[in-house]
Structures are given as structure tokens and as C-alpha cells.
Structure 1
Amino acid sequence: MSRFSQKGWRLLAGLLVTATVTWSVPAPAAPQRIVLVRHGEKGGPWTLCQVGRDRARALATYYLGKDAQKSAFRPGETPKAILAISLHTLETVFPAADSWQMPVVFYAAMPEMVDGRFVLSEARLSQRTREAARDILEKPEWAGQTLLLYWEHDHVARTSDDPEGTEHKSTLYDQLGLGALTDVPRIWPDNTYDYIWFIDFDQKTGKPISFSMMKEEFGAPFEDLPQNDWGQPEGLKPSSGCILP
């Protein structure tokens, strides 16, 4: 074999090794924007209470459904995918998803029987949150798109300043790197249901670059829904049939 041929083969082999290494590292494929809400008020481990069901319909009518009155989407913007994690989020998302005629990508975390009662497993919620965050940042079909998420608030962010028992909890706050933005709340209060989060991502780096949140304000026929400020009491009474914080 000639010297030229040997050099040629060595060069080709080097290119193939480089190509293999480059191929093994996924390029950033972040969405352009995430629109994120919490599920409606709960009536039990499986379903929403009537207030939560009304909030689900109000969200679709006013903010998140197709042709919403005060759409949370920018002009010409539509969700590429709609994600949910639990039965409460699935029930909340249904009116909006139905209006768009879109399926829901369901990262199913179902209630489990523990000590004679049904509860949501923190481990399962954390696992599903990690899976969703990975897909959000890596799925090429979602790159540069807008995603609509309905999530469990304690797996969006923490619900208190007490770190005890949270060291193994996975949240979207951590998984998506939202701590890099100084204005993202680290805590989502238990009795706050009425805010929508907006998170924008840099398309080259896949990192979050801006955050804002908007309070839900409903008119008829949903004007009686709780519309409390962030972190303030909802004011619901036990007679509402909802689980209270």
C-alpha cells in the first residue's frame, strides 16, 4: 500500500471517529416556549372537585383553548404538544385538549394504595417528571415549538422552604435549569391554583432565557372562581367539597 493511501485511510478513520463521537452527543432540541399551569382544585385522589372542574373549563374558554377569549398564546402560536402527569392534570387538561382536537402526552403517575388510602407516589412523580424534562429538552419534533404543560405543583417547584424529604424529589425547576433565572419562584404555594407560567428557551444552547407568569382572571360564567394573589389563601370553605391545604 502506498504512503498516500496509508495517509488517506488514517484521515478517513479519524473523520469516522470524530463523526461517531459527535453523533453520540445529542444537540440541544429545546422548545421555544413552555406554557405551564397547575391542575384544578382536587376533590380526592382520583378526581377534581366542582371548583377544579370549573377551572378546567375556564382555562380552556379564556386562556388555553383554541379561540380562547384572552389567549395565553401569542398571535399565530399553537401548542405542538400537550403534556400531563396525573389524573388531576388529565382531567384539567381535557377541555383545552378537546378544543384543539389534540391527544395528550400522558406521563402517567397513578394513585397507589398506601396504609389503606390512595396517594400519589413521590418516587413515581419524580420519575415521570425526569422523563418529561428529558423529552422536552431532547425531542427533535418539539424543538423550537410551544408546549402546553399541566403539572403537579410540587413537581414544578418546591412547596416550602423546608428541604427535609425533598432531596430526591425531581422538579421541573431543577430538571429544566430554571434556577438560572432569578425571577422564577422556587416555591409553588399549596393554595395557589390561578397562575400561568411562561418559560422561553435559547434555541442554540437549550437553556431557559426568560420567565413570566400571569394571574388567571375570569369573567362570566366563571367569575366566582378563586382568583387570589400568589401565595394568598383561596378562601374556599369545607362545604366546597374540595381538599383544602
Structure 2
Amino acid sequence: MGCSNGLTGFLNLLTFLLSLPIIALGAYLAKTHDSTCMRFLQYPIIVIGVFMLLMSLAGMIGAWCDKKFLLLIYLFFMFILIVLLFCFTIFAFVVTNSGAGSAVSGKGYKEYRLGDYSNWLQKRVDNPSTWEKIRSCIQDSKVCSDLGKKYTTETDFNKASLTPLESGCCKPPTACGYKFVTPIEWTGTNSTADADCGTWKNTPQEWCLGCNSCRAGVLQNVKSNWRRVAIGNIIVLVFLVIVYSCGCCAYRNNKRYDKGYA
């Protein structure tokens, strides 16, 4: 067995071992959580884990047992994975290129506007079915109720560095002119300064979860996460290209070995 065969098998053994906790995590979420948010996460996790397991098995058996057919299938799907990962990385950088929080005078936090983000992202959160799932996730996380426990005075709240979700989903926009009672309770009359002013409610589980500012806060989180994922994808792509190159060498070695004994 050539060096490239051994290296390909070893790298896929590492991938195989990595896929097991990923599948276990998906199974754990499926068994212990029944919320919309967790259901939204568990199936992609299981699919990714099973795909990694099958790919790594094909790579190990093909490389270590000189199974050319399995190795060829492995290389085919590995090439598709590399192309898809490359396209997604470019796409992630493009759609997250715009949008940022705006500083508020006298406040430690920023506020977010839906129109600042790419049209593609805006259409995703404007879809009622998609937004209902996201809204359920925010409610399950208790972002707003926890915020109400963090800050007891207006001074502390104004100095706070709120997360995009806390700023966009838990309080009315500053332009509305509401008066602070608690971070999740405000008084005043509806203003037309912002379209979200009439959407805000003091009612628990309502607050500003239906506001455009909440959608913008979600997109800011998406932007930050996708940027981190895109950077991580670059590292993964380098690793996959190395593994793919070793696999190609292993496949060529197997063909030369077969010809030598033909």
C-alpha cells in the first residue's frame, strides 16, 4: 500500500471519528427537545454527520483495501463537496457584505435597520413561515425575559452593550420616544417616527418580536455567524483539497498496481 493510500485512509479515519459525535448530537437534540427551534437544527446536523460517516468509510475502505470503485465514488462526491463549499463561501461573503448597526446618541448599544441588509437576506426573514420558526427560536432562548433581569435602572440599560437580538427584539426603537420602565416595559403613545412604533407591545412573548428591527437583529447575527463560517470554510477547503489530492494519488497508485500485475 502506497504512502498516499495510508495517508488518505488515516485522514478519513479522523473524519469518521468526528462524524460520530455529530450524529450523537443530532440524536440528542431529537430525543430531548421538541421545540420548533431544536427541530430546525437537529435534522441538518444528523444529515451532515451521516454524510461524513459514509464518505469517510468509502475513503478508508477504498484506500486501505485497494477498492478502486469505492475510491472513485469517494473522489466524485469529495469533488462535489469541494465545489459546493467553495460556492457557499463566496455566496456567504457576497450576501453579508452590507448591513451594520447604527450608533445611538447617549447609548451603549446600536440599533439595526432591515433595509441595510442584502435583498436576498431580507426576503428570507420576510417569509411568514421562515419568520415563525425564527421567532419561536428567539422565544425559546428567553432573550428578552433574561434582558429584563439584567438591568434594573435606566442608566445601566443605556450603558449596556446589547446584542443585536436584545436591541432589535426586546425594546422599541429609540426614535419612538417611549419612556423606560424596565428593559422590556416601556410607556408612551404610539409614534409615527418608525414603522415599528405601532408594532411594539409590552405583552410578554410579544415585545418587538414582530418588528423589522427584530428581523434586522436576526440578520446581523446571521451576518456575523456566516462570516465566521465562511472563514472556517476556507480552512476546511484547504484540508479537503489536501485529502482529495491524496485520494487522487491513491487512485492512480491502485491503477498502476493493477497494470503491473495484469
TM-score category (smaller protein):
under 0.3
Structure number with bigger Rg: 2
Query: Which has the larger helix fraction?
Result: 2
Query: Which has the larger strand fraction?
Result: 1
**TM-score calculated relative to the size of structure 2:** 0.22
**TM-score calculated relative to the size of structure 1:** 0.23
